[in-house]
């Protein structure tokens, strides 16, 4: 079994904080030789526990400083498969969840500014997805992660 033990967890934590740390450096913290740390990381990646090495970027630098949530009820006749496809492709959509409650989907957007919301909604509408929707703006975010551009 691929268990992810205490040491793996510590390694993951260190990599999450700074994935450029050297194997020797990490090895020091977990009391393992560099080659052993390497082997563990290799296994974590191979088993899919670590999905990818990446960078976290300042949203403002990418013109995506504005965070917006949109509750969506799809049209009765909407092609739900096509909608999911659209959601996965559109770079403005950071998250999209099928949710409990009165609405069917919750979409999280990252946009340049609030004026871009209108364009997004009109895109949804012209693709015949949109029944009703409700938009919520994030005014400030005590806890927020940076952006990580979607994989190609």
Partner DNA sequence: CAATATCACCGTACTTTTTGCGGCATCCGA
Partner DNA sequence: TCGGATGCCGCAAAAAGTACGGTGATATTG
Q: How far is the CB of 36 from a copy of itself (least distance, A)?
A: 18
Chain Cα centroid distance, residue 121: 21
* CB-nearer residue toward a copy of itself: 126 or 141: 141
Give the other-Cβ count within 10 Å of 144's Cβ: 10
**For 145-149, which contacts have Cβ atoms below 8 Å and span 24 or more sequence positions?**
145/56, 146/56, 146/57, 146/58, 146/59, 147/56, 147/57, 147/58, 147/59, 147/62, 147/64, 147/94, 147/110, 148/54, 148/55, 148/56, 148/57, 149/57, 149/62, 149/91
Nearest approach in angstroms of CB 45 to DNA is 10
Do residues 44 and 8 touch, judged by C-beta distance below 8 A?
A: yes
Judged by CB under 8 A, does residue 126 bind a copy of itself? no
Chosen residue from 6, 31, 115, 139 binding a copy of itself by CB under 8 A: 139
Site for a copy of itself in 58-97 (CB under 8 A): 58, 61-62, 67, 69, 84, 87-88, 93-97
Alpha-carbon gap, residue 93 to 105, rounded angstroms: 12
Q: Which of residues 6-65 bind DNA (CB under 7 A)?
A: 7, 20-25, 27, 31-36, 38-40
Under rule CB under 8 A, which residues in 36-65 are in contact with a copy of itself?
Answer: 48-58, 61-62
Name the site residues for a copy of itself (rule: CB under 8 A): 4, 12-13, 15-20, 48-58, 61-62, 67, 69, 84, 87-88, 93-101, 106, 134, 136-146, 148-149, 151-152
Name the site residues for DNA (rule: CB under 7 A): 7, 20-25, 27, 31-36, 38-40
């Amino acid at each position: 079994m691929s268990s992810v033990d205490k040491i793996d967890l510590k390694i993951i934590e260190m990599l999450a904080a700074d994935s450029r740390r050297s194997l020797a450096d990490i090895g020091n913290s977990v009391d393992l030789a560099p080659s052993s740390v390497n082997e563990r990381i290799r296994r974590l990646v191979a088993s899919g526990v670590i999905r990818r090495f990446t960078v976290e970027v300042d949203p403002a630098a990418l013109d995506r400083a504005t965070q917006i949530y949109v509750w969506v009820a799809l049209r009765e006749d909407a092609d739900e498969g096509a909608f999911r496809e659209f959601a996965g492709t559109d770079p403005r959509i950071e998250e999209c969840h099928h949710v409990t409650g009165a609405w069917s989907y919750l979409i999280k957007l990252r946009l340049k500014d609030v004026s871009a919301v209108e364009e997004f909604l009109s895109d949804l509408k012209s693709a015949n997805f949109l029944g009703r929707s409700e938009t919520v703006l994030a005014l400030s975010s005590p806890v927020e992660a940076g952006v990580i551009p979607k994989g190609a």
